[in-house]
Amino acid sequence: MKFRCERDVLVEALGSATRAVSTRGGALPVLSGVKAELKGDSLVLTGSDLDLTIQVSVTVAGEADGVAVLPARLAADIVRALEPGAVHVEVGESEARIASGRSHFGVRLLPADDFPRVADAPADEVTLDAGALVEALRQVVPAASHDDARPILTGVYMTAEADGLRLVATDSYRLAVRDLSGVSVLAEGQSVLVPSRALGELARLLGDAGEVSLRLGERDATFEAGEFAAGGGSGTGTRLTTRLIEGQFPNYRQLIPESSANRLTVGREPLLDALRRVKLLAREATPVRLSLGPDGVELSAVTQDVGQAEEGIDAKYEGAEMVIAFNPEYLADGVEAVEGDEVSLETTDALKPAVVRSVERGDYLYLLMPVRVS
Amino acid sequence: MATPSILHVDMDAFFAAVEVRDDPSLAGKPVVVGGGGDRGVVAAASYEARIHGVRSAMPSFQARRLCPGAVFVTARHARYRQVSDAVHRLLLGVTPLVERLGLDEAFLDVAGARRLLGDAPTIATGLRRRLHDELGLWCSVGVAPRKLTAKLASEAAKPEAGPTGVAPGAGVVVVGLDDELAFLHRHPVEALAGVGPATLPRLRRLGVRTVGDLATLPRATLEAALGQAAGRRLYALARAQDDRPVVPAGRPKSVSHEETFAGDRHGVEALVPEAVRQADAVAARLRRAGVAGRTVHLKVRFGDFRTITRSCTVTEPLDRGHELARVVRRLLATVDVSAGVRLLGVGVSSLTDSGSAQLRLEDQGPGWAEVTTAVDAARRRFGESAVLPATVVARGRAPERPRP
């Protein structure tokens, strides 16, 4: 394999593909590598940890076809460190030579035969607006769990609703629900559970892509953006393949309260700013307290032996005066995810879930359990 | 150490005094705190009861025989802890260097507080009065240059219950650097920690009755009679050599539990009940200490003594048995246990106060929180094995006792 390519093109492609490369060595050493496959002028880079695979295709000046697996982090670090300009890559028997200007590197290869094959995606594909999907993912993915002890909760539940697609995620402390109306990806009654890590990467990869295609297999989901060139085509694009999570997502509907007695309406930015300040004094897992009353809301935090903070915000409040406490990060995640200038916070009492939503839009809901304070 | 700066504060008949404070009608009466029924043991007795010979750890029936007129009350440990916390807060007002021993004792190092609050005897007298004025409880305070002698001094300051009545104690006894050795040497040798039923006869054979007698013996003699470690230790104590500092009890850094099996266990199935039981025990201890932790550790020692540890960190601090067990089981699943396991250990670190708890969506309605509270209450009353995880009970046999 031999090709020439602009440094910046290669830096970006390596950066994307290596995001799927497993960070903890693991049982299969070859997974610490990135696979490079050249056919004509099309170079496909693949990184994988078996659960998640990211492939990037770019157009280069190809001289000799071939396949090789390079140590991913090292290759990315080398290319990033080079001076801007053309990079020459040539792969020999056991070594890849990377050169630019007067810099020359020789890097030992990993055994290409050991690299896992990427599952073939089914032919049926649906196309989604990438911008809308990215926005929805940004709102839902943070609510998913990172705790591998409950694998089901590490996924985002994608389910067909009457007029579109619904995304749901929960880590059992909060729950985010987002509807994408008019998007029919799944057949009625169909649902899949997609690892949130993969969707987080997808949102990052899509960037300013216009459209994204989705193909659902038995065990995998494949997302593609741009002109991904597989098997000899040419073009610049990205493909992300993720294993699906098996199992029954919890019955989230029964968790959402039908109505709430108290409702706070407050500016999104002022609330986020105040939270950002007050949480400086909410250390060692202490919560931020919200005192809700006719004058609005006052945020406060006390950390024993450290200090305390208070801040009042003008807001509209209908309901009984009450104090309710939240993990400030969880509350900020929900408020941040809301679209629009104003958010509403609906509560029942200090031990029941609160609902955060946009005042202007009804397509997003964030349910948050309070912190019980003694 | 020019002047004494170590205080030993010891509450007088603490549990009984709390009962009297909470129910003033008991004042002046013999009060015995203990388990209910005749099979219980006396946990504490007021001085009025001690006149009749009632002592801690005595069987209840014996106490009833000695003092038929005594008021018997059932111990309320949660309440004692609450009052003990109030005492502790008051002590912390003097100095942060407070080392708590159980519910009713503490060492204080007031070296740094003397400039503000006066010398150690003044601080001791003030503390004693404040504890009485603010909490209605009496204590005895020993002031000495060392923990060893401060503890003996507080004992000397105690009221004394004899057959004829209660003689009020000095309240505060101060032992200066100059008279420290003489004070120490006057004590019977069994006043030293570590001189018990095993050691005492051997010392008697050497003609030792008082600590002073002990101080005349050469180190070699003591080491020959008691073994090297114990001999060396008593040799030092007899010379008032005790440089243990006052260590304020912080939040524990970690809580763990491990157990060696009588025979090696093979296969995950044989280990899961043990792991679940240990997780449950660790969780109970976390709750007792008022902490919860985010990092869970599993330790496995194989038959050939090869030892491995696995750990993982979760988002929210854990202090419930079933939650901890879930993480432990997952860690266990990553270990190849086919070689046979000799020891299993479960631990939790990254601890924070559990004063506030992030609720879970599935917590709505009566759930694990209530179950856990009920389990803790049942165990306090009926013992640790009153409630066990189903995984453990399902094995159809009592939990195995640890190999000594």
Contact B357 A255 (CB under 8 A): no
Q: Which site among B92, B251, B298, B315 would you substitute to test the A interface, given the most A Cβ atoms closer than 10 Å to its Cβ? A: B315
Q: What is the pLDDT of residue B402?
A: 43
Quick check: helix, strand or coil at residue A170? strand
Long-range contacts of A225-230 (CB under 8 A, 24+ apart): A225/A130, A227/A57, A228/A55, A228/A57, A229/A42, A229/A44, A229/A57, A230/A44, A230/A55, A230/A57
Q: Concatenated DSSP letters for A44-85?
A: EEEEE-SSEEEEEEEE-EEEE-EEEEEEHHHHHHHHHHSPSS
Do residues A96 and A172 both lie within one domain?
Answer: no
Is residue B61 assigned to a domain? yes
| A109 close contact with B: CB closer than 8 A | no
Residue B351 CA to residue B252 CA, distance in Å, equals: 8
Residues of A in contact with B326 (CB under 8 A): 149-150
Same domain flag for B215 and B275: no
CA–CA distance, A269 with A237 (Å, rounded to integer): 36
Q: Is residue A65 part of a domain?
A: yes
Collect all residues of chain B within an 8 Å Cβ-Cβ radius of residue A327. 358
Query: A119 in a domain, yes or no?
Result: no
Geometric angle at alpha carbon B245, from B241 and B247, rounded to 5°: 150
Does one domain contain both A134 and A249? Answer: yes
Question: For position B359, what pLDDT does the model report?
Answer: 85
- Return the closest-CA partner of residue B43 out of B1, B7, B22, B14: B14
Is residue A366 scored above 50 in pLDDT?
Answer: yes
Is the Cβ of A301 closer than 8 Å to some Cβ of chain B?
A: no
Kindly state whether residue B242 falls inside one of the protein's structural domains. Answer: no
Q: How far is A284 from chain B (nearest CA, A)?
A: 6
**A99 and A137 fall within a common domain:** no
Nearest residue of chain B to residue A352 (CA atoms): B364
State the nearest Cα–Cα gap between B252 and chain A, in angstroms: 15
User: Across the interface, do B359 and A148 touch by the CB < 8 Å criterion?
Assistant: no
* Residue partners of A269: CB distance under 8 A and separation at least 6: A341
> B56 with B120, same domain?
yes
Q: For residue B74, which of B28, B29, B41, B30 has the smallest C-alpha distance?
A: B41
Q: Is the ipTM of this complex over 0.85?
A: no
The residues of B whose Cβ lies within 8 A of any Cβ of A are 312, 314-317, 326-327, 330, 352-353, 355-364
User: E strand or H helix at A351, and its extent?
Assistant: none
Task: Give a yes or no: residue B159 inside a domain.
Answer: yes
Give the distance from residue A28's alpha carbon to the nearest chain B alpha carbon, in angstroms: 16
A353 touching B (Cβ < 8 Å): yes
Interface test with A, best of B313, B316, B358, B362 (most A CBs within 10 A): B358
Q: Do A255 and B314 touch (CB under 8 A)?
A: no
Residue B49 and residue B132 in one domain: yes
What pLDDT score was predicted for residue A41? 92
Identify whether the C-beta of residue B97 lies closer than 8 Å to the C-beta of residue B246. Answer: yes
Residue B277's pLDDT is: 92
Phi, psi (deg, nearest 5) at residue A195: -55, 130
Asked if B73 and B45 count as a contact pair (C-beta separation under 8 A), the reply is no
Query: For residue B189, what is the domain's CATH number?
Result: 1.10.150.20
Q: Is residue B247 part of a domain?
A: no
- Write the CATH number for B271: 3.30.1490.100
Whether residue A203 lies inside any domain: the answer is yes
In a domain, A122, yes or no: no
pLDDT at A58 over 50: yes
B370 lies in the same domain as B337: yes
Buried b (16+ CB within 10 A) or exposed e, B176-197: eeeebbebbbebebbebeebee
Which chain A residues are within 8 Å of B363, Cβ to Cβ?
369
Residues B137 and B209 both lie in one domain: no
Contact across the interface for B315 and A146, Cβ inside 8 Å: yes
Contacts of A170 in chain B (CB under 8 A): 361
Which among A114, A145, A172 is the end of a domain?
A: A114
Give the residue-averaged pLDDT of A102-121.
Answer: 90
Chain B residues in contact with A331 by the CB 8 A cut-off are none
| A135 and A180 part of one domain | yes
- Domain identity same for A79 and A144: no
Distance between CA B355 and CA A372 in Å, rounded?
8
If asked whether residues A247 and A146 sit together in one domain, one would say yes
Residue A208 lies in a domain: yes
Query: Does residue A336 register a pLDDT over 70?
Result: yes
Same domain assignment for residues B350 and B268: yes
Residue A142 to residue A156: CA distance in whole angstroms: 10
Which residues of B are less than 8 Å from A260 in CB distance? none
Q: Would you say residue B245 lies in a domain?
A: no
- The pLDDT, as a whole number, for residue B193 is 83
Q: Of A61, A81, A114, which marks where a domain is finished?
A: A114
Instruction: Tell if the CB–CB gap between A327 and B358 is shorter than 8 Å.
Output: yes
Look-up: residue for tokens 């694998």?
A151
In 3D, which of B241, B246, B229, B153 has the Cα closest to residue B191?
Answer: B153
DSSP annotation of B154: H
Q: Is A61 on the interface with B (CB under 8 A)?
A: no
Q: Quick one: pLDDT at residue B36?
A: 57
Q: Are residues A136 and A248 in the same domain?
A: yes
Task: Give the chain B residue nearest A369 (alpha carbons).
Answer: B359
Do the domain assignments include residue A195? yes
The per-residue pLDDT for B267 is 86
Q: Inter-chain contact B316–A304, Cβ cutoff 8 Å?
A: no
Contact between chains at A369 and B316 (C-beta distance less than 8 A) = no
Q: Which of left, alpha, beta for A50 (phi over 0: left; psi -120 to 50: alpha)?
A: left
Same domain, A94 and A135: no
Same structural domain, B356 and B226: no
| Contact at CB, B353 and A327, closer than 8 angstroms | no
Amino acid at A345: L
Ramachandran region, residue B352 (left: φ > 0; alpha: ψ -120 to 50; beta: rest): beta
Tell how far CA A239 is from the center of its chain: 15
**Do B212 and B326 fall into the same domain?**
no
| B229 lies in the same domain as B201 | yes
User: Contact at 8 Å (CB) between B275 and B335?
Assistant: no
pLDDT at B393: 67
Residue of B196, B337, B229, B351 whose CA lies nearest to B286: B351
Instruction: Give the residue from B361, B362, B373 with the most A CB atoms within 10 Å of its CB, the best one to mutate.
Output: B361
Structural domain containing residue B297? 255-394
CB contact under 8 A, B358 and A147: no
- Per DSSP, A361 falls in state -
Domain-embedded: residue A57? yes
Q: What is chain B's pLDDT, residue by residue, as a tens digit (404 residues)?
A: 457 899 999 999 999 999 999 999 999 899 999 865 556 788 889 999 999 999 888 888 888 899 998 999 988 877 888 899 899 989 988 888 888 887 899 999 998 888 788 899 999 999 999 999 999 999 999 999 999 999 999 999 999 888 888 888 899 999 999 999 999 999 999 998 878 888 888 899 989 999 999 999 999 999 998 888 889 999 999 999 988 888 776 667 888 988 888 888 988 888 999 999 999 999 988 887 778 898 999 999 998 989 999 999 888 888 888 889 999 999 998 888 888 999 999 999 988 877 677 888 876 655 666 677 677 777 766 666 677 777 776 654 444 444 44
What does residue B199 show for φ and ψ, rounded to 5 degrees? -85, -35
Which residue in chain A is spatially nearest to B317 when comparing CA positions? A285
Is B356 within 8 Å of A367 when comparing Cβ atoms? no
Angle at B247 between CA B169 and CA B17, to 5 degrees: 35
Annotated catalytic sites of B, by residue? Answer: 105
A145 and B353: CB-CB below 8 Å? no
> CB A172 to CB B362 under 8 A?
yes
Chain B residues inside the 8 Å CB shell of A146:
315
Q: With respect to residue B250, please indicate whether it lies within any of the assigned structural domains.
A: no
Residue B311 Cα, gap to closest chain A Cα (Å): 12
Cβ contact, residue pair B352, A374, below 8 Å: no
Among partner residues A172, A255, A287, which is closest to B356 by beta-carbon distance?
Answer: A287
Strand ranges across the sheet with A66-71: A66-71, A33-39, A42-48, A52-59, A237-243, A220-226, A211-216, A126-129
Claim to verify: residue A28 and residue A84 sit in the same structural domain: yes
Is A225 within a domain?
Answer: no
A150 chain-B contacts, CB cut-off 8 A: 326
Supply the pLDDT for residue B315. Answer: 80
Does B157 lie in the same domain as B38? Answer: yes
CB-CB neighbors (< 8 A) of B357 in chain A: 371-372
Residue B357 lies in a domain: yes
Cβ distance A148 to B330 less than 8 Å, yes or no, reads yes
Residue B249 lies in a domain: no
- Which chain A residues are within 8 Å of B359, Cβ to Cβ? 173, 351, 369-372
Interface residue A372 vs chain B (CB under 8 A): yes
Q: Are A140 and A187 in contact (CB under 8 A)?
A: no
Count of domains in chain A? 3
Quick one: B136 and B192 in the same domain?
A: no
Structural domain tally of chain B? Answer: 3
Q: Is the pTM of this model over 0.95?
A: no
CA angle B207, B212, B217 (to 5 degrees): 55
Residue A146 contacts B where some CB pair is shorter than 8 Å: yes
Please judge whether B359 and A374 are an interchain contact, meaning their C-beta atoms are less than 8 angstroms apart. Answer: no
Query: Which CATH number characterizes residue A335's domain?
Result: 3.10.150.10
Shared-domain flag, residues A164 and A247: yes
The verdict on A93 and A133 lying in the same domain is: no
Nearest by CB: A285 against B314, B317, B359: B317
Q: What distance in Å separates residue B368's CA from the closest CA in chain A?
A: 14
Domain range for residue A287?
256-368
Say yes or no: A74 and A151 in one domain. Answer: no
Residue B73 Cα, gap to closest chain A Cα (Å):
29
